[in-house]
Amino acid sequence: EIVLTQSPATLSLSPGERATLSCRASQSVSSYLAWYQQKPGQAPRLLIYDASNRATGIPARFSGSGSGTDFTLTISSLEPEDFAVYYCQQRSNCPITFGQGTRLEIK
C-alpha cells in the first residue's frame, strides 16, 4: 500500500497570503495524484488531478506540481473561502489511498 504523508498537519495563514501544502508518497505514483478540498459538514471537492490539472470550475489561484514522490498544492493568494482541510490522493496502485490531510486555518 502506498502511504501518502501530508505536511504540515496544520497551516495558519492570513487572507492574501500564499499557501504551500506538501504531499509525499512512500513510492513513486508518477503523476497519478489529486488534491481535494473539504469544508466542515461538506463532501470533498476535486481541485487538482493528474498532479497539475485544475478540475472544472476551480479558480486559477489553485495550482499543483510535482511527480514521482513529491507533490505540492499552492494557493497563490488566500481567499476567506479557502480555509478548509486539504487531502491528497493517489490512484497509481490499488488500494487507492489518501493522505491524512492538512488543515488550513485563519491566523
Partner 1 sequence: EVQLVESGGGLVQPGGSLRLSCAASGFTFSSYWMSWVRQAPGKGLEWVANIKQDGSEKYYVDSVKGRFTISRDNAKNSLYLQMNSLRAEDTAVYYCARDRVAAAGGPDWFDPWGQGTLVTVSS
Residues that bind partner 1 (CB under 8 A): 34, 36, 38, 42-46, 49, 55, 87, 89, 91, 94-101
Q: Which is nearer to partner 1, 7 or 77 (CB)?
A: 7
List of E strands, the chain: 4-7, 10-13, 19-25, 33-38, 45-49, 53-54, 62-67, 70-75, 85-90, 97-98, 102-106
What is the closest distance, in whole angstroms, from the C-beta atom of residue 91 to partner 1 in the complex? Answer: 6
Residue 36 has, within 13 A of its CA and on its CB side, a CA count of 16
State which residue, 50 or 79, has the beta carbon closest to partner 1. Answer: 50
Nearest CB to partner 1, comparing residues 43 and 60: 43
